[in-house]
Chain A
Amino acid sequence: MLKISNLTKSYDNGFTALKNIDLEVESGEIFALLGPNGAGKTTLISIICGMVNPTSGSVKVGGYDILSDYRKARSLIGLVPQEITLEPFLTVVNSLKFSRGLFGKKPDLKLMEDILKKLSLWDKRNDKTVTLSGGMKRRLLIAKALYHEPRILFLDEPTAGVDVELRKDMWDLVAQLKADGVTIILTTHYIEEAEAIADRVGIIRDGELLMVENKATLVERLGKRQLTVQLVDPLKKLPDYLQALDLVLEAKTGDLIYTYEADGKRTGIANLFSTLSDNGIIIRDVQTSQSSLEDIMIDMLGDKI
């Protein structure tokens, strides 16, 4: 559905916002682009959607080049921008009609009703956009992007600054759209958002796409697991025979914390258990936990997150 090849964007002042980006997104996929502020997420989306000219490289949407075949490429695209940018004095209905009209389509009142009801805006349809609350304005931006029936939807920081309820509604909507076969690309710096809804995750920093990975694989590949061992008689000090095992003794509880690579061939757990057993230490319980995308991001991006 989306094919980006060797895409670069440089500005006259010498700043390079995107460096040789290569990316393919399949039809019906939810792809999350994660990265700190200023990483190039919005620039990438802006180029694909036609707001910024690329310096070099190519972008194809649905097989159509965004420059030479821009009409066909853009007619497949819906964009929900990061900022709330609405003509203040248009009513909700007229704002939607304007958006659909730009894509060469006559108003479809049934579809409009469906979308507005789905986004809880139907009761506000005759209100001017200036009178809507912040959350409603954001819903309206989504409605406008959906009303021309795009096959690929770009959500640029869709839940930045929205309340928990609206965030949940948006995630549900994304799931519905995916079920309808719409490809979704979202940028976010809320890691839990990518973790909750994305199929694949791309991590971008300083204009470079550092990694593109299936979300589960990414967590598995990069994530660390932690094993917490509760003892029947908690230890007050780490004995010498355990020092070599890279263990941490939790001061308050006396639990042993053992960290290991999730994808490591040898985790060392068996060795740990046998050492404990050989020295007569009785285990009460064990717990494992896996690192989240957030932990992975902190690992990759350091303090830039």
Chain B
Amino acid sequence: MNYQAVKSIYVSEMMRAIRTITQSLISPVLSTSLYFVVFGTAIGSRMDAIDGVEYGLFIVPGLIMLSVLAQSISNASFGIYFPKFIGSIYEIHTAPISAIEILIGYVGAAASKSMFIGIVTLITANLFVPLHIEHPIAMFSFLILTCVGFSLFGFIIGLWAKNFEQLSLIPLLVITPLVFLGGSFYSISMLPPFWQNVSFFNPVVYLVSGFRWSFFGVGDMPISTSLIAIAIFIGICAAIITWTFRTGYKIKE
């Protein structure tokens, strides 16, 4: 294992995050605050508690997931796409490093950044509503698994993207609907039966449900189901990346 190479990639990626720390922080703090103003205060005050949880509190796990998912994908996809775009990827290709080391470096950094943003969002939410986390270890575990899973997904987008348009299109077209229809702002049980069934195909539903369970002890589905779902998602992403590196598809000529 070339640990020094992993460290080099990780440190270099984290330095990029530090260079843009202001925008990295302002964006999630601002958007979380806006969601609370609109959904938490304006709309939430007129809504009943869901599963015994006040609406302002109910949306917190979903909001954290929203920013963590978006950040994981954009960090990881940009992290690998940018050197491809400017051509400096040649350094990675010509160095004595394996695919797994490249992956740990880039995905590790992207996941760390989004983990940080997730915690910032959590702190921001705490300013609006008094938070009590019922299962803190489970909450952090879910956060880490989500950051890793969606950073892997972002890495695939970054590897496959041919231009900046594709880089932003997939998050916009795929992730935004999945997140909004993933139970971030409502419980799946509030939907008509048909849409409940459709929701079961949405991986974000399992994430938000598991994450919400770690906060309040209640979720749309059992915690074990959520864990299996995120494990399958990570497994699929890892398999695609392994195949991509093995064949050199979209990486090497």
Contacts and interface: CB of A to CB of B under 8 A. Distances in A.
A38 B15 CA distance: 38
Interface string B72-87: 0000000000010011
Contacts of B98: 71
Nearest to A76: B96
A97 B5 CA distance: 10
* Category for how many chain B residues contact A: 20 to 34
A74 interface: yes
Given A101-B8, A102-B91, A106-B4, A74 B252 contact: no
Interface string B212-253: 000000000000000000000000000000000000100011
Chain B CB within 10 Å, residue with most, of A49, A74, A85, A97: A85
A101 B4 contact: yes
A273 interface: no
A94 interface: yes
B95 interface: yes
Contact of B88 (A53, A75, A86, A101): A86
A87 B92 CA distance: 13
Interface extent on A, as a size class? 35 or more
A102 B5 contact: yes
A99 B8 CA distance: 8
B253 A52 contact: yes
A276 B229 CA distance: 98
A50 interface: yes
A52 B252 contact: yes
B172 to A, nearest CB: 26
Interface in B18-57: 19
Contact of A89 (B3, B19, B252): B19
A89 B83 CA distance: 12
Contacts of A11: 253
Contacts of A86: 86, 88
A63 interface: no
A85 B8 contact: no
Given A81-B90, A99-B91, A70 B96 contact: yes
B93 interface: yes
Given A53-B248, A70-B96, A72-B96, A105 B90 contact: no
Interface string A87-98: 111100010011
A89 B15 CA distance: 10
Contacts of A200: none
B16 interface: yes
Given A71-B2, A74-B96, A102-B95, A51 B90 contact: yes
Interface in A101-133: 101-106
A184 interface: no
A102 B19 CA distance: 21
B189 to A, nearest CB: 48
A139 interface: no
A104 B94 contact: no
B94 A50 contact: yes
Contacts of B253: 11, 46, 51-53
Interface of A: 11, 46, 49-53, 70-75, 77, 79, 81, 83, 85-90, 94, 97-106, 144
Given A49-B90, A51-B253, A74-B96, 13 more contacts: A71-B2, A72-B96, A73-B96, A87-B12, A89-B16, A90-B15, A98-B12, A98-B91, A99-B91, A101-B8, A103-B5, A104-B4, A144-B91
23 contacts: A49-B90, A50-B94, A51-B253, A52-B253, A70-B96, A71-B2, A83-B87, A85-B86, A87-B83, A89-B19, A94-B15, A97-B8, A98-B12, A98-B91, A99-B91, A101-B4, A101-B5, A101-B7, A102-B2, A102-B91, A103-B5, A104-B5, A144-B91
